[in-house]
Structure 1
Amino acid sequence: MTTHAPGPAASSPELPSLLPGVLRVDPDTADPARRGRVRRSVRDWIVDTLCFVIAILIGLTTYDSAMQNDPPELVQLLDLCVGALACLSLWWRRRWPVQLAVVVALLCIGVSSAAGAAVILMFTVAVHRRWAVAVAVAAVNVVTGLLFYGVYPDPVLAFRWTILLTGSLVAAVTLWGMLVRSRRQLVLSLRERAYQAENEAALRVERARHLERERIAREMHDVLAHRISLLSVHAGALEYRPDAPREDVVNAAGVIRASAHQALQDLREIIGVLRAPSSDDDPDRPQPTLAQLPPLVDESRQAGMRVTVVDELAGDGAEPPPVVARCAYRVVQEALTNVRKHAPGTGVYVTLTGGPGGGLAVEVRNRMPVGAGEPGTSLDIPGTGTGLIGLAERVELAGGSLEHGITRDGDFRVHAWLPWPA
């Protein structure tokens, strides 16, 4: 089983590395032997010291029981020395748990004082290694325990009872270690879920920021492209006719000034709207709807465009939802802006049809191809070529569809359908 634990410099390969400190760790290799040399923490020192003391106490108890058979003093001294070395080996139990457990278990055949170290090492293997390895080490300890009782028979218990006692002790220690291992894996799993939730939250925030930037760019394009194209039309007229009467020049300059002022005002409103929390039902948001369509058409007519509007909306004055009305306004605005940029001097037909329950259809059509147009109206207004792409995204977000292209009659047609619930 693969779990996750915090680490200093790596991140999970399955998740974007937005949060530092996520390290993918196999619990079977999460020990100093495979991670490299690490310094013990205060907790590690306390645990190791307790294990050392417990191993000594268990070893001395077993030693006293085994020495009741009164072996030679040399054997007793050798038993204590080897048992002390086995207890000292516990300080490296995290680095080589399986190797030390097997060696100490074999020593326990003839060394009684090493029994405590064998118990601690068996527990360590159950905590840090897979169940198959833990069971194998437990089996080795059962066999060596039986051989130990063959060398040092218990004067009180029968051999069958010593077999039962040894098996029960080994099983209890191994199961306890497996329980500790399972709990650690659960904690690591919960920690990983927390890290994953934090990463997903960071991704959601980043996506929200990206969508907000797109929304700002879309609104800027819709508003400023319309206003600046009007400014370009009027400025082009002044450039083409520098000897125009003073009254015409003053009027044109006034229109330019008013358009520039309105562009700045629109920019302020858009920035204010986009800084506020998004809510389509907010009545205070200064967003245009179909009610502002006549002023938009009048501005285009003042710039020299021939715009014809056919309003065939049903519903006895019923208004579509704000999102739909705003999207319809943007469709007409973008289409008129594109005509000024790419087909000056042509007539434009704007048609609105539909009603509640049947949807709202907006169609803007102009003749293609176009000639040079009237003097002073041929402009070279730069464009990004992405206006219709952004418009299509806006319409799709509103639940509608957008079509544009040249018809068989030679007209350029922009047609949008938007849902209008009954």
Structure 2
Amino acid sequence: MANEHLKVIAGIDTHADTHHVAIITETGAHVADQEFLAVSSGYRKIIEFITGFGPIIAAGVEGTGSYGAELARVLRKEGIQVLEVMRPNRQRRRLKGKSDPLDAYQAAESVLAGRGTATPKARDGAVESLRVLRAEKSTAMRARVAVMTQVKSILVSAPESQRAKYRGLGSTAMMAALEKTRPAGSMYDPSNATAIVLKRLAVRYRQLQQELALIDTELDAIITIHAPLLRDLHAVGTDVASQLLVTVGDNPERIGTEAQFAALVGVAPIPASSGKTTRHRLSRGGDRQANKAIHHVALVRMMSDTRTKTYVARRRQEGKNTKEIMRCLKRYIAREIYGQLLHPQPAPAAGELRALRKAQNITLQAAADALQIWPATLSRLERGLTRDDVLYQRYAGWLNAH
């Protein structure tokens, strides 16, 4: 019988086939624990069990991204606050032992203490679709590389008559040529067997290419609907945008500040000072795939973005090395991306500036010379192919003052 004045906390240790649930009071007293099957009927029984002792403050669940994903969704639908609980460290387990009931109680105690908990990803929207597609893409890319490696390995030991046909061809041309072959004959002949296997591998390579193209199309379609403005940022394409969205999850509000986002994607500055030296270093924590995405954005901007080139040149004059400049760039990029994720802002309508320039009979070359930039850069801005808010403001100010 539920006690109206008793508030409780649930801790859940999740596994593939069963979940162990423990209940404690808001003062930390152990109330009860029980094991349930990890199936629909088991989830209903878990709800009945944890609500049978009084109002639920929160439920601490281990493995919300794996075994506990569905349970977390069910609990949220029932209006129960779900917190992801980190697994106890090895030292704690050595001191207090390990079992499913102990782990469940420790999960509840972590929620009560506010220790090692976080808001889990919702996993119930468009971003979950992106995550599944990216998982498929990752395996398809590895399979494609494996096929190419296998083809080249077989050709190394193939007869010279076969190797000579494909010598000097690039990878794509070689695979296309292999697919067009018509090998025939007995598999007992090594030459025939080699030709047949190479053709089948080339067909597999094309199928993987088509699969990857289809995945990219589907990713692009989802992002166009779910977060179209994210790709307005310079150097943020479909691949980068999808990875960053997956890292944040379907509930981006769980990341309260841009400093938390920087830590999540591994670009938060880490103090590395000693003695008279004061400096920071690159973070090695956070989501490494998201960090890779931001690293890609930084590299592209260093090669093609006027603002970034100017910034890099200035920091080099100040004595900063490449690693230190990259750390600073990643931090700025993370701040910009966080703002676009939480509060998306459309790019300025640069097409209006093109109309204004033509109305004043100013050529693209003349405008580019006045702004000291390449005409191609200005043309891409006018056509909406790139976003550069600083250049937009400079260009608009120059045109209005002309």
Whether TM-score is above 0.5 comes out as: no
Larger radius of gyration: 1
Relative to the length of structure 2, the TM-score reads 0.20
